[in-house]
Amino acid sequence: MSANDLSGFLEQNRERLSPLLIVMHDVPDPDALASAVGLQFLVERVHGIRAKVVYGGVIARSENREMVRLLKLPVYKQRSSDERIYPNVAFVDTQPQFENHSLKRKRKVAIVIDQHHSETPPSADFTLIDETAGATSVLVARELLNAGVSVPKWLATAMVYGILSDTLNFYRVTNRETVDIYFKLLPLSDVHLLARIQNPSRPRKFFSDLAKALVHAVIRQRVVVSHLGPIGSPEIVSQMADVLLGAEGVDWVLCTGRHGENLHCSLRTVRMNVSVSTILRTIIGSKRHAGGHGQIAGGRVHFPGGMDQERWTAYENGMTERLAALLRLHSRTTFAPFITMKAG
């Protein structure tokens, strides 16, 4: 069995692995959702291993909720009893040492499948980590296709969307296999459902969040920063960062938002061959609390007991200045409002 032979590992350990708890990060995106249900389908249909897919937080984005609803994805909010009922754990699109999931109890991990960089390799019986994959869905889809599994339409659609969303519609693809697997899955998918998922009706809250992001946004050269302040859901931060990165003349975006005792951060760029996750770790001052891949990075800084308004603002401003220093922005420029409102 080779180091990357997931099916071989599953077949050799099928009896001891059942039942298996498949854990995503707390705010699962399309790639996490697709790769997790893809692994569940593989272990159940091919190897007879009973499995459950869980997440600890919320599915907040309209697109992601539509994905779960329209494709009827079997994903569930994590319960405290899950750790007792399911002695075996698989981490998908996250890793046990990361702090973006809710499985806090220390335990032996069976499987880790991910595309994200980690300073510390995960401790698990089997690991499949490929930072060049473009999407974790690619790694799971490869196993399904190699196993000769007939991929159902709902799963193919989920994995196609997972690949599209995590590669920014192939903008940050560096691996030819990512494209090859996508084109193998596309004929098996439902393109009409895919279009509905990608173009959902949005709640009014989305537009109020967007307005807040724009009002708080400042720009300096080609760098935009928007500190949103208190937010209703952590996923708003990455969503607004994605929107702002689409602005003409913008190369970098940093967004933050306060949720409970945590400051959630997202850093985005259109630049190639830069370590965005390293930059974000530097500006928040922690290697453990931030990670990412390619041109995307996210992080969460925990402040026990929270902070008052003045301290929150000071920390956010400090992040802004550290980013400006790292990107070597011209000292003669300053941050200015991203948008200006004119009467009439």
Tell me the C-alpha distance between 131 and 174, whole Å.
10
Region 116-141 average pLDDT: 91
For 204-337, CATH gives 3.10.310.40
Q: pTM to 2 decimals? A: 0.83
Q: Is 188 exposed, middle or buried (CB count within 10 Å of its CB: 0-12, 13-18, 19+)?
A: middle
Task: Give the pLDDT score at 1.
Answer: 37
Q: Where in the chain is the domain with CATH 3.10.310.40?
A: 204-337
Higher per-residue pLDDT: 171 or 87: 87
Q: Which of 252, 258, 213 is nearest to 232 (CA)?
A: 258
Q: What is the mean pLDDT of the chain?
A: 91
Q: Annotate 41-72 with DSSP letters as a single string.
A: HHHHHTT---EEEEESS---SHHHHHHHHHHT
pLDDT band (50, 70, 90) for residue 2 = very low
Per-residue pLDDT reduced to its tens digit, 269-303: 988 888 888 899 899 887 667 777 778 888 888 88
The fold for domain 6-198 equals inorganic pyrophosphatase (n-terminal core) (3.90.1640)
Q: Where in the chain is the domain with CATH 3.90.1640.10?
A: 6-198
Pairing relationship of beta strands 111-114 and 126-129 according to DSSP bridges = parallel
Q: Is 78 exposed, middle or buried (CB count within 10 Å of its CB: 0-12, 13-18, 19+)?
A: buried
Per-residue pLDDT reduced to its tens digit, 131-160: 889 999 999 999 999 999 999 999 999 999
The letter for the amino acid at 18 is: S
Residue 306 pLDDT greater than 80, yes or no: no
Per-residue pLDDT reduced to its tens digit, 54-107: 999 889 888 999 999 999 999 999 998 998 899 999 999 999 988 888 887 677
Tell me the C-alpha distance between 183 and 179, whole Å.
6
